[in-house]
Structure 1
């Protein structure tokens, strides 16, 4: 029996872009478009109704922008299984950090190749986060230039020394395999540490761990 397809919701105010994305996704093995939204408010409503696995979310949309829509989706316990990939034409700092802080699992530019977008959907659905080198640079610049307000980041004083190490490596964008190699441990051990980190830091997914690592200066520019 074949596995259920990854169910994707498209949220963008440009019909032609939704159509092109939909064609690329429906042609990919194991993926299926289950709905389309033309603005942020519609995206939130359809996510509640359809419970997609992944939402491709534009930022600049009428009624409710993509960052606010992402925040509303990420804040609802019933939608914890839904991941948001933010797509935009812009690479401005406030969009990058705003989207990730709102709960997005990945941030990609709209000129991303279709094959890379399909790979991103699969990886995010599998629990990974996705950060291009440009996005990692933006995160470094954000936290170097702006002091973190007290209480704005989850406390990490309850973490073990090994969990601190793992969190720092996650913040650098390393995969589970790369972390296992760096620490000379098994993939299973890395996954256990990441599970413990998510529980202790109340992190929705890996992207939130990256933000925590930067917030506490565990990643140096």
Structure 2
């Protein structure tokens, strides 16, 4: 399993390399987020598709991951009608600038180097999924910048996201990712939820920076 994971890791890193072509400008990005703040700039805001859940916190997220995610929505590798419509309207430079803007809003000096111990059953699940090998021992410092920080992310969003990696054949829901697709197939929905609930309790860099809907 570990050998296959490393092979998929190398392939995914190569596939994301093209997303790093443009150099992001955080100040320019601040002027390009009008379509983002209506969801990601309101604390506690909830989406209703594909089910009700809090929209993810993206302030403080890794710049490379935000670029990779937006590129995936634009290409259709991530299937979500609203996010694809937004991503399709963005140039590569827009994506780079917006990602730099949100990444610059992080930085929590109180995040420990290792995560607090998980309940025994959850710890077994995290080990089985080799989660720390990609997302870091504290789940806030991934080994590659194109992977997300997941510590402290909304648990309900994490649960929806994890399930989306194994959704097949749906034009509006799902994520094509060889690493995560293989990982989540090992778990039941109850197990995915248990991991998401634990990860959501951990301290991390992710936060929502309040923004007005209109400015």
With normalisation by structure 2, the TM-score equals 0.30
- Structure having the higher strand fraction is 1
Higher relative contact order (CA 8 A, sep 6+): 2
With normalisation by structure 1, the TM-score equals 0.30
- Structure having the higher helix fraction is 1
- Structure showing greater radius of gyration is 1
